[in-house]
């Protein structure tokens, strides 16, 4: 198994247990997808993938429809995607993806979390090299030959395929730029798409003691509670 598999096993985001937070995140994703590619899922591959994520999270259909209507409304402000980078306790690299309609509010909040919990917010690009940005697809496990699937995906930018034992879903990691090509391949093959997203995999992991991990976790949890924060990544083992 490769690096993505090992990191995937180790990173269980508690925020996905907070259903209201999940719906807020997906709702923002829908708004941005519609604004960039239109409201028709048949003609907007990114929107199709996000709708699958909504289904996987048991997000009610009316919530999805409401988010699409909100996106095409003139009253809906544009969201901006911003990446913040900082150092947490014990030198752990922390990278935060946020989606916001008020950048001043978001950066002030993020900086306060770092300051209060033993970290420091850094400058853009200072830690980006510590993470590889990937696309991730999840498909139903229907007796698919994983080695054959991985071989077929190599030329499209896929670089790791494995079965998640906990969900019994096949996870496919690929280069960030390969999202569209891999999605098209999976749809044309008729595989049941369970979800699709972008993620970041640390190039190296830093090992801490249990007490040190607890300190870092406090900062991560506080960041994840913020409504503007979509994802938090670290290089903590």
Q: Quick one: pLDDT at residue 12?
A: 44
Q: What is the mean pLDDT of residues 206-212?
A: 96
Convert 122-143 to b/e letters by CB count within 10 Å (16 or more is b): beeeebeebbbebbbbbbeeee
Q: How far is it, in rounded angstroms, from Cα 127 to Cα 208?
A: 19
Q: What is the pLDDT of residues 31-40, one digit of tens each?
A: 999 999 999 9
Q: For tokens 């001043």, name the residue.
A: 104
Reported as a single tens digit per residue, the pLDDT across 120-139 is: 999 988 998 999 999 999 99
Higher-pLDDT residue of 10 and 216 is: 216
Instruction: Give the pLDDT score at 128.
Output: 87
Q: Which residues contact 195 (CB under 8 A, 6 or more apart)?
A: 49, 52, 53, 56, 136, 137, 138
Quick one: pLDDT at residue 5?
62
Q: Can you tell me which residue has the tokens 């993470």?
A: 131
pLDDT band at 1 (very low <50, low <70, confident <90, very high): low
Q: What is the pLDDT of residues 138-167, one digit of tens each?
A: 999 998 999 999 999 999 999 999 999 888
Pairwise CA distance, residues 32 & 167, whole Å: 28
Other CB atoms within a 10 A radius of the CB of residue 94 amount to: 26
* Closest to 231 (Cα-Cα) out of 10, 14, 2: 14
Tokens of 87: 């150092």
Closest CA to 36 of 99, 85, 95: 99
């Amino acid at each position: 198994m490769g690096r993505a598999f090992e990191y995937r096993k180790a990173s269980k985001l508690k925020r996905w247990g907070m259903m209201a937070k999940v719906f807020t995140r997906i709702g923002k994703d829908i708004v941005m997808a519609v604004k960039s590619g239109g409201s028709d899922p048949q003609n907007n591959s990114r929107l199709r993938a996000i709708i699958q994520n909504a289904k996987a999270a048991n997000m009610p259909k009316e919530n999805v429809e409401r988010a699409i209507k909100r996106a095409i409304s003139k009253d809906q402000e544009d969201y901006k995607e911003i990446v913040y980078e900082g150092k947490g306790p014990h030198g752990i690299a922390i990278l935060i993806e946020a989606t916001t309609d008020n950048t001043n509010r978001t950066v002030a909040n993020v900086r306060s979390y770092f300051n209060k919990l033993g970290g420091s917010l850094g400058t853009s690009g200072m830690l980006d090299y510590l993470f590889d940005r990937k696309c991730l697809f999840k498909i139903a496990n229907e007796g698919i030959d994983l080695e054959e699937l991985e071989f077929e995906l190599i030329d499209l930018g896929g670089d790791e395929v494995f079965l998640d034992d906990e969900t019994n879903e096949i996870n496919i990691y690929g280069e960030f730029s390969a999202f569209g090509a891999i999605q098209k391949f999976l749809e044309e093959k008729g595989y049941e798409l369970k979800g699709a997203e972008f993620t970041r995999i640390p190039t190296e992991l830093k090992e801490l003691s249990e007490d040190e991990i607890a300190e870092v976790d406090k900062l991560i949890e506080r960041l994840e509670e913020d409504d503007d924060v979509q994802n938090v990544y670290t290089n903590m083992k």
